[in-house]
Structure 1
Amino acid sequence: MSKEMDELFIETNHFNLRELRLEDATALFPIISDEGTMKFITPHPVKTLKEMKSTVNKMIEGCKSKQEVVWVIEDKTTKKVVGVFRFHKWNQWHKKAEIGVVIRNEYQNQGVMKEILPKMLYHGFMKMNLNRIVGDIFEGNKASMKLLINHGFHKDGQLRETDFDGSEYHDTIVYSLLKREYEVLYNEH
């Protein structure tokens, strides 16, 4: 494992998070193509494996150009791909990034994010040297709102009708956590 890949490997009690690879497209396709799983992310999930491979390629290119960092989440016991975690819209000058997460349907509301988010926040603030981490979520995504609030995120505001799903507009709510707030909450100095 290269030094860079080793730095991207993150382990929790039940999950391993590792660098995204092109061959992950096959395992990610049933997750990213599922309309129910993607309902709070996009009204137009990928439709074909070819489209999924293109999406994975774009994420890998985003990683190479330091616009994002993407991890595949794997269940340690079953070795099953559970989803992806991303710091995307990464701006190194402003030291900020946005969280992007997709979790396989049967793993939703099972505590996956509750377990991995503290490790990911540590990585974002302490390894990537971010000052601000943002969660920008659809108004109806109550589980994500609760998760972010429980991890110290502040509600910055509500953006009206920012996303269109093909039939209606949706508001998004912006939450953020600053490094200084994180350091107090998690005793990291």
Structure 2
Amino acid sequence: MIGNKNFQEKGYSKEASLMMLNHGFNTMNLHRIYCGTMQNNEPMKRLSLALGMKQEGIFRDEVYKNGKYHDTIRFSILKEEFNADIALN
């Protein structure tokens, strides 16, 4: 499924990500979970924000790909933010 265009924009990534966040926070008792993506990866940026994550920063020229450097973006969410958002929905 990962990378297959037929399965994109159907909500599967959000559902799976919510399950992983729930496991991380409420089973493993993690305090903070973060992810990063290339700055031009709009679907991942939208997903991160839809999950309630906050953009923490931009890492300039962090990844070298196809002969040039690219910026990445870091997002994170705290346990209390995740659980508060779940309670509202």
CA distance in 2, matches of 1:112, 1:164: 29
| Larger RCO of the pair (alpha carbons < 8 Å, separation 6+) | 2
Q: Indicate which of 66, 69, 81 corresponds to 1:169.
A: 69
What are the Cα deviations for residues 51-106 of structure 1, in whole angstroms up to 9, with x where unaligned?
A: xxxxxxxxxxxxxxxxxxxxxxxxxxxxxxx2xxxxxxxxxxxxxxxxxxxx1323
| Bigger Rg, which one | 1
CA distance in 2, matches of 1:166, 1:144: 20
- Runs in 1 of length 4+ with deviation above 4 angstroms? none
TM-score, with length taken from structure 2: 0.88
CA distance in 2, matches of 1:173, 1:148: 11
TM-score, with length taken from structure 1: 0.43
Could you list the runs of 5+ residues in structure 2 that have no partner in the other structure?
Answer: none
* 2:34 matched residue in structure 1: 134
Amino acid at match of 2:68: E
SS in 2 for 1:113: helix
What are the Cα deviations for residues 108-137 of structure 1, in whole angstroms up to 9, with x where unaligned?
A: 233211222221111010111111111111
* 1:104 matched residue in structure 2: 3
Q: CA RMSD in A?
A: 1.2
Could you list the runs of 5+ residues in structure 1 that have no partner in the other structure?
Answer: 1-81, 83-102
Taking every aligned residue pair, what percent have the same amino acid on both sides?
A: 35
CA distance in 1, matches of 2:19, 2:31: 16
Aligned length: 86
